[in-house]
Amino acid sequence: MSFFEKLAIASRKNSSLLCVGLDPDPQMKLSNADNVVAFNSLIIKATVDLACAYKPNLAIYESMGIEGLSALQETLNLIRQADPCIPIIGDGKRGDIGTCSTAYAKTLLEDYDFDAVTVNPYMGSDALKPFLEHKEKGVFVLCRTSNPSGMQIQELMVVRGGVRRPLYQIVAELALSWNWNRNVGLVVGATYPEQISRVREICPDMLFLIPGVGVQGGSIEKTVRSAADTQGEGFIINVSRQIMYAAKTPIGTRSKDSEAMRKMRHVARQLRDEINSYLPSSLKKNLKQICQSHEDQANRGESYRQTESSVMATSGR
Q: What are the residues binding a second copy (CB under 8 A)?
A: 23, 25-27, 57, 59-60, 62-63, 65-66, 69-70, 91, 93-104, 106-107, 111, 120-127, 142, 145-154, 156-160, 164, 167, 170-171, 174
93 is catalytic: yes
Q: How far is the CB of 128 from a second copy (least distance, A)?
A: 8
Helices 281-299/303-312 angle, 10° precision:
80
Phi, psi angle pair for 117, to nearest 5°: -140, 165
Q: Judge contact between 23 and 60, C-beta under 8 A.
A: yes
- For 144, the 3-state DSSP assignment is strand
Q: Judge contact between 109 and 117, C-beta under 8 A.
A: yes
State which amino acid sits at residue 112. Answer: Y
DSSP β-ladder status, 53-56 and 89-94: unpaired
Please identify which of the residues 93, 129, 256, 288 carries the catalytic annotation. Answer: 93
- For 126, the 3-state DSSP assignment is helix
d(CA 272, CA 260): 18
- Chain mean position to CA 175: 19
State which amino acid sits at residue 53. Answer: A
d(CA 216, CA 159): 31
Nearer residue to a second copy within complex by CB, 87 or 90: 90
Instruction: Point out the residues that are catalytic.
Output: 93
